[in-house]
Each structure stands twice: as structure tokens, then as C-alpha cells.
Amino acid sequence: MIKEESAGPPTVITRPWNNPKVRSIFFQAVLLIVVVSFGMYIFGNTAANLEKQGIATGFRFMGTTAGFGIITHLIEYSEDSSYGRAFAVGLLNTLLVAFTGIIAATIIGVFIGIARLSKNWLISHLAMVYVEIFRNIPLLLQIFFWYFAVLRALPAPKASLNFADGVFVNNRGIYLPSAIYEEGFSLVIWALVIAIIAVLVMTRWAHKRQDATGQQFHTIYYSIGLLIGLPLLALVVTGFPLSWEIPELKGFNFVGGTVIIPEFIALWVSLSIYTASFIAEIVRAGVQAVSHGQTEASNALGLTAGPTLRLVILPQALRVIIPPLSSQYLNLTKNSSLATAIAYPELVSVFTGTILNQTGQAVEIISITMAVYLSISLSISAFMNWYNAKMALVER
């Protein structure tokens, strides 16, 4: 007996319920079952109740004819299009205002945030006033302010302001000439694509060369030359296959050309300005998080204020800036749904407004809308996380 015990390794008998691995799997399985069955109960209950009340269900409505007009659409759309297409129009309008808003808000925000740190008393206090005003007024009020400010400040179509040839501004929007591409224009596009690729390749090569030899290369001048020169060359070769459609006043309104509606302008301006006030504070916090010693060291190396900010401070500040910045991008995208108040036809206005009312299928439409916003937000998050990982301080 004694011999046997001492021979093998000490056998520790762990019962399954004492094994941490088994326990964790067990509890996760229980949680999963509870969540899934709760979801199934909700789904079944909803379906049964809708059935009992005689309310139509399902997604067949997406294929039926919409029958209503939408003021601005990035893709082809008419009253004969389906609800599905109207949904796509609304979604693209949401993405358009979110994308342009994020770009504008970032530029204004970085500018104001750095201005707040300026040693110039006037500039830093102007930036402070900007931040305090715009982040403390509810966004919906700002949207109304810009919308009615834009509408009331601009003249009626018959008294339009004419800035340049074919550019008209009135309270129905900004009318621009639109380009009509003729045969052979694709060559110009290809020239542009080739130029972009060439610039990317050249930048990499210049970086490698600088790393290896220390020699600098004036990438910027060559890039501009390539980007403008190649397409221009293609235009000349193909004989300018491009004509302009000039908007003209016919009856009540301008006809032809491209129009940027005041609803878009008001929404874009208010979203950008509002979000920029938060971004400015994030940028300020990020820059202040970089130790002052870095500035002193950079000055000691002989760098002036500009390169110090660009090459030393901002790259380190970005680590602190990017995570809260992502939240602001998400906020901006979701806030774009306030557009429904001023008739900009984005997702909420078109889909959960008009289409919901015409079909009455609230559960389906709200579910789709929530899924869409969730997807947009998760995509932005994924991109920002990737960018954050790329920018993170490499520990050596």
C-alpha cells in the first residue's frame, strides 16, 4: 500500500464542479441558453401578438413601390422605385452627412484645440468662447438656428446671388454647374488612378531612401505635379471630353446643374461646429498630456515651434486623442438622425418616418434601423481601433 502510494504522482481528484474550466464553461452555457431563450420568447411573443392584432409582418414590403419623392438622392431614385431603394437613398444620405461632418469637425476641432493652447491671449480666449458656447447649447437648437439663419438670410430664387459663372445661391440651395462626361473621359479617371498609385510608391521609396542615406526628397512637389499633370495630359490627349450643364431659372426654381440643399448645409454646419467643440477639448487634453520636457528637448535640438508641434508633440498626443475621438465620431453619426426635424432625407426621416407610416410595420423597420446604426458605429469603431493600434507608442 505504502509503496503504491509513493510510486505514482500524487493523484488529486478534482470533481467536475470544482474544476474552474468546467465551471466557467458551464456558467457561460447557462447564460447563453437564458439569453437565447429570452430572445426567442420575445420574438415569438411579438409575432403572436402582431398576428392576433391583424398587423402585417415580414419584409416583403421592401420590394413594393414607394410612390413618394425624395428631395436629394445620391443614387438614381424616382417615385416608381421600391421601398428598398428609398431605404438605400436614406442610408447614403446619412453616410454622406456623417462622412463630411467627421472631416469638417476634425479640422475645426484640431484648429480650435491648438488655438486654445496659444500663448496669444486673444486667440486662446476666442477658442475658449467657441468651445463654451457650442458645446453647451443643445444640438437640435443649433440645427434650427443654422437652418432658419440660412433660409432667412438668403434671397428667393428670382433674386439669386450669382457668385461665378453658373453658380447661384438662393434659399432653395446652392446651384452648381454639373459636369457631363463624354466618351473618352474614362482615360482621365485612369490617369488620376495611376497618378495616385505613383505618388504612394514614390512616398515609400523616398522614406526608405531617407532611412538608408539620410537624403531628403521633395515628395510634395512631385506629387502635386503628378496628380495635376497626368489627368491634364489625358484631358488634352482626348480633347476635353467634358461639358458643363449650367443651372438656369425656369418658372419657380432653377433647373439643371447640381444643387446642394439648405437642409444639408444647415445639418452639416451644425454637426461639424457642435462636435468640433468636443474635439477641441480632446485635442487640448492630448497635447497637454505630453510632458513639457518633450518641447524643451525638441527646442534644444533646434526645432522651431511648427516642427515641434508636428513632429514631436502631435504624434505622442494622438495616443491620448484617438480613443475619445472615436466616441465623438460615433456621436456625430448618430446625431445626424436629428435631421428629420429639418427635412434632410436621411435614414430616420425616410425609413422610420415616411416608410414606417406607409407600411405600418414598426417592429421590422425599427429593427433594421437599429441594425444599420449599429453596423455604422461598429465599422467606425473598428477603423478607429485599427488606427489607434497603428499609432500606439511602440514599446522598445
Partner 1 sequence: MNKITSTVMMASLLAISASTSAATLDDVIGKGFVQCGVSQGLPGFSQFDDKGNWSGVDVDICRAMAAAIFNDSEAVKYTPLSAKERFTALQSGEIDVLSRNTTWTATRDTALGLNFAGVNYYDGQGFLVRKDLGVNDALELGGAAVCTQTGTTTELNVSDYFRANNLEYTIVAYEKADEVVAAYDAGRCDVYTTDQSGLYAQRTKLKDPSAHKVLPNVISKEPLGPVVRQGDDQWFNVTRWSLFCMINAEEMGVTSKNIKSKMGGDPATKRLLGEEGSFGENLGVSPTWCANIVSQVGNYGESFARNLSVPPLNISRGVNELWSKGGIQYAPPIR
Residues in region 150-179 near partner 1 by CB under 8 A: 151-152, 156, 171-172
DSSP string for residues in 321-335? HHHHHHHHHHHHHHH
Q: Tell which one of 169, 206, 341, 391 touches partner 1 (CB under 8 A).
A: 341
Which range in 48-56, 112-120, 129-137, 212-220 contacts partner 1 by CB under 8 A?
48-56
The cell 447563453 sits on which residue? 32
Residue 117 contacts partner 1 per CB under 8 A: no
Cβ neighbors of 244 (< 8 A, separation 6 or more) are 166, 177, 178, 179, 180
Round to whole Å and give the CA distance between 92 and 26: 44
Residue 328 contacts partner 1 per CB under 8 A: no
DSSP string for residues in 259-314? EE-HHHHHHHHHHHHHHHHHHHHHHHHHHHHS-HHHHHHHHHTT--HHHIIIIIIH
Find the radius of gyration of the CA atoms of the chain.
29
Q: In this complex, which beta carbon is closest to partner 1, that of residue 277 or of residue 354?
A: 354
Q: Tell which one of 6, 11, 18, 53 touches partner 1 (CB under 8 A).
A: 53
Q: Tell which one of 370, 374, 382, 392 touches partner 1 (CB under 8 A).
A: 370
Q: In this complex, which beta carbon is closest to partner 1, that of residue 86 or of residue 317?
A: 86
Residue 356 contacts partner 1 per CB under 8 A: yes
Helix (H) or strand (E) holding 162: strand 161-162
Minimum distance between the CB of residue 343 and partner 1, rounded to whole angstroms? 5
Locate 38 and state its grid cell: 429570452
CB-CB neighbours of 379 under 10 Å: 11
Residue 141 contacts partner 1 per CB under 8 A: no
Residue 142 contacts partner 1 per CB under 8 A: no
Among residues 222, 115, 241, 104, the alpha carbon closest in space to that of 183 is found at 241
Residue 263 contacts partner 1 per CB under 8 A: yes
Minimum distance between the CB of residue 360 and partner 1, rounded to whole angstroms? 4
Minimum distance between the CB of residue 49 and partner 1, rounded to whole angstroms? 3
Residue 248 contacts partner 1 per CB under 8 A: no
Round to whole Å and give the CA distance between 136 and 115: 19
- One-letter amino acid identity for 263? E
Q: Tell which one of 34, 36, 71, 179 touches partner 1 (CB under 8 A).
A: 71
Residue 16 contacts partner 1 per CB under 8 A: no
Q: Tell which one of 32, 289, 301, 362 touches partner 1 (CB under 8 A).
A: 362
Minimum distance between the CB of residue 250 and partner 1, rounded to whole angstroms? 6
Contact assessment for residue 280 and residue 112, using Cβ atoms and an 8 Å cutoff: yes
Residue 255 contacts partner 1 per CB under 8 A: yes
Which range in 13-21, 51-59, 233-241, 292-300 contacts partner 1 by CB under 8 A?
51-59
Residue 59 contacts partner 1 per CB under 8 A: no
- One-letter amino acid identity for 165? D
Which range in 10-18, 104-112, 276-284, 358-366 contacts partner 1 by CB under 8 A?
358-366
Across the beta sheet with 161-162, what order do the strands follow? 161-162, 168-170, 173-176, 258-260
Count Cα neighbours of 135 within 13 Å in the Cβ-side half-sphere: 19
Minimum distance between the CB of residue 244 and partner 1, rounded to whole angstroms? 21
Cβ neighbors of 284 (< 8 A, separation 6 or more) are 113, 114, 116, 117
Minimum distance between the CB of residue 148 and partner 1, rounded to whole angstroms? 6
Q: In this complex, which beta carbon is closest to partner 1, that of residue 253 or of residue 327?
A: 253
Round to whole Å and give the CA distance between 115 and 126: 8
DSSP string for residues in 242-257? EEEE--EEETTEEESS
Q: Tell which one of 161, 180, 366, 371 touches partner 1 (CB under 8 A).
A: 366
Instruction: Return residues touching partner 1 (CB under 8 A).
Output: 42, 45-46, 49-50, 52-56, 67-71, 79, 140, 148, 151-152, 156, 171-172, 250-253, 255, 262-263, 334-335, 337-338, 340-343, 345, 348-349, 352-354, 356-360, 362-363, 366, 369-370, 373
